[in-house]
């Protein structure tokens, strides 16, 4: 079979990275694995000759098949042609064990479950590495104070450790969602209309054996037109990309030249050496030699932006008529594959992004200092409220802030240097020392340490991970 893996395309280095490598070869192997599992189950049930399962399994190698021989355009799906091609390869005695009792949807849906499991496992592994990196950042930067930003505007001080702890918690919740979806992956085996009539009384037993052979859950009954398992897997992947997209977006914003608080590290093994003459440099621009673009973060976002539409297609396709759908089933295959591929690629990029992230603590401190005390206006207001009431305190600090911005002065200088404001503070019994203390960022971090500890403890407890700096 020609190399038709998910890694062999022009854009696959971006969208088919790591666990996202899903193409024709992976699909064909999953279909063959489902057929081979069925042959083994039939043999165990006494419905196929001894050794048939082993023969079918040995022949079920995707590399030996060419999708062109399946005649998918003639039958509307690849399974009939694949089953015929497999039967030709196993010989006369084992051939009756190929596809017996199954319908095309049984094999294809089961293959989708196998692909979903493969992807979930790969994504989960990458998320574990990404979460470990986020935990290390949370520990290392617990005391790294930076400006918090809400609605893209400067707000109050936070620490980069708290930012990383937020990423960590979200990654762990995404992993939990993937685990729940994985437990729901079930074998599909119902025959033509969900009755397994062609196998008679042996049908349920073969279904149970097939589930054992493929290590998938055994559903209560066939789920040909109940597509919740597809939606569960798709939703778990979409939740994962939402988390990865949020992290990547944060990093692109923090990496802007005007902000400069983080940057992507060199990819593993690249070192700090410039690209050789005529070579391609990581993050380079075709037009602007000075640029170093945040490639990993951008690639994550390139993957994650496509996922909501794919999930919407799966939801829209979940309405299946009667016992087997006319078209809705077919509409699932490509978006489901793309969703798995993009999530796997985003997770692989996200792992690299967090594992190599470079944090510029001095730049964070400089950006915070450049705000000249304005982000602490809320703290000053809280100090004054006890003496002059909330509304009056708010109005006084708002006037001081506006004057500070208009004159380009630190908030401290306005509060203590403008006679009207200084007199109001003195009348309320507020000393200059109290104002100075209220304008100290380290004194207005609230429950930051508590929240970081909680995130690290939950991560360690749920995933038995030892966190090191």
124/339 Cα distance (integer angstroms): 15
From the list 183, 198, 285, 305, the catalytic residue is 285
What sign results for the dihedral spanned by CA atoms 244, 248, 251, 253?
Answer: negative
DSSP codes joined into one string, 406-438: HHT--HHHHHHHSHHHHHHHHHTT--HHHHHHH
Q: Are 220 and 296 in contact (CB under 8 A)?
A: no
100 is catalytic: no
Cα–Cα separations (whole angstroms), residue 368 to 41, 142, 156, 263, 364:
66, 16, 9, 18, 6
224/193 Cα distance (integer angstroms): 8
Dihedrals φ, ψ of 155, to 5°?
A: -120, -105
Q: Quick one: which of 119, 181, 176 has its CA closest to 336?
A: 119
Give the rounded distance of the alpha carbon of 101 from its chain centre. 38
324 is catalytic: yes
From the list 324, 392, 399, 403, the catalytic residue is 324
Q: Are 339 and 237 in contact (CB under 8 A)?
A: yes
30/26 Cα distance (integer angstroms): 6
Which DSSP symbol is given to 262?
Answer: E
Q: Are 283 and 294 in contact (CB under 8 A)?
A: yes
384/467 Cα distance (integer angstroms): 41
Which DSSP symbol is given to 84?
Answer: H
What sign results for the dihedral spanned by CA atoms 309, 312, 316, 317?
Answer: positive
Q: Are 379 and 439 in contact (CB under 8 A)?
A: yes
350/401 Cα distance (integer angstroms): 40
Q: Quick one: which of 109, 100, 168 has its CA closest to 133?
A: 168
Local structure of 153: helix, strand or coil: strand
- Which of the residues are catalytic? 285, 324
């Amino acid at each position: 079979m020609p190399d038709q893996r998910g890694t062999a395309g022009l854009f696959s280095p971006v969208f088919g990275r790591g666990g996202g490598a899903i193409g024709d070869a992976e699909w064909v192997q999953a279909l063959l694995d489902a057929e081979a599992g069925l042959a083994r189950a039939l043999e165990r049930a006494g419905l196929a000759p001894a050794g048939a399962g082993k023969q079918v399994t040995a022949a079920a190698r995707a590399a030996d098949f060419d999708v062109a021989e399946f005649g998918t355009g003639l039958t509307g799906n690849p399974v009939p042609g694949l089953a015929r091609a497999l039967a030709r390869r196993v010989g006369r005695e084992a051939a009756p064990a190929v596809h017996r009792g199954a319908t095309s949807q049984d094999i294809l849906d089961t293959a989708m479950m196998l692909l979903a499991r493969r992807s979930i496992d790969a994504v989960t592994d990458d998320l574990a590495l990404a979460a470990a990196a986020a935990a290390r950042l949370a520990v290392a930067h617990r005391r790294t104070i930076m400006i918090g930003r809400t609605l893209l505007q400067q707000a109050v001080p936070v620490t980069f450790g708290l930012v990383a702890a937020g990423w960590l918690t979200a990654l762990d919740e995404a992993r939990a969602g993937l685990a729940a979806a994985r437990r729901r992956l079930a074998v599909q085996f119902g025959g033509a209309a969900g009755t397994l009539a062609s196998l008679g009384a042996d049908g349920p037993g073969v279904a149970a054996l097939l589930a054992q052979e493929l290590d998938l859950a055994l559903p209560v009954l066939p789920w040909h037109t109940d597509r919740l398992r597809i939606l569960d897997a798709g939703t778990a992947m979409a939740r994962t990309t939402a988390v990865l997209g949020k992290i990547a977006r944060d990093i692109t914003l923090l990496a802007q030249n005007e902000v400069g608080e983080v940057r992507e590290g060199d990819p593993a093994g690249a070192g700090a050496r410039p690209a050789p003459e005529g070579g391609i440099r990581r993050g380079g621009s075709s037009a602007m030699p000075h640029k170093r673009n945040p490639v990993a973060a951008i690639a994550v976002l390139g993957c994650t932006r496509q996922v909501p539409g794919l999930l919407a297609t799966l939801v829209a396709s979940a309405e299946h008529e009667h016992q087997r759908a006319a078209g809705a089933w077919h509409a699932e295959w490509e978006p489901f594959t793309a969703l798995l591929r993009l999530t796997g690629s985003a997770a692989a990029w996200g792992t690299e992004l967090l594992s190599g992230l470079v944090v510029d603590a001095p730049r964070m401190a400089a950006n915070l200092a450049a705000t000249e005390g304005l982000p602490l206006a809320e703290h000053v207001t809280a100090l004054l409220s006890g003496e002059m009431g909330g509304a009056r305190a708010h109005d006084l600090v708002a006037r001081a802030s506006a004057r500070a911005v208009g004159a380009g002065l630190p908030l401290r200088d306005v509060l203590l240097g403008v006679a009207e404001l200084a007199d109001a503070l003195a009348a309320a019994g507020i000393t200059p020392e109290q104002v100075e203390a209220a304008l100290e960022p380290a004194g207005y971090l609230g429950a930051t340490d508590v929240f970081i500890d909680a995130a690290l403890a939950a991560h360690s407890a749920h995933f038995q991970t030892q966190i090191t700096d």
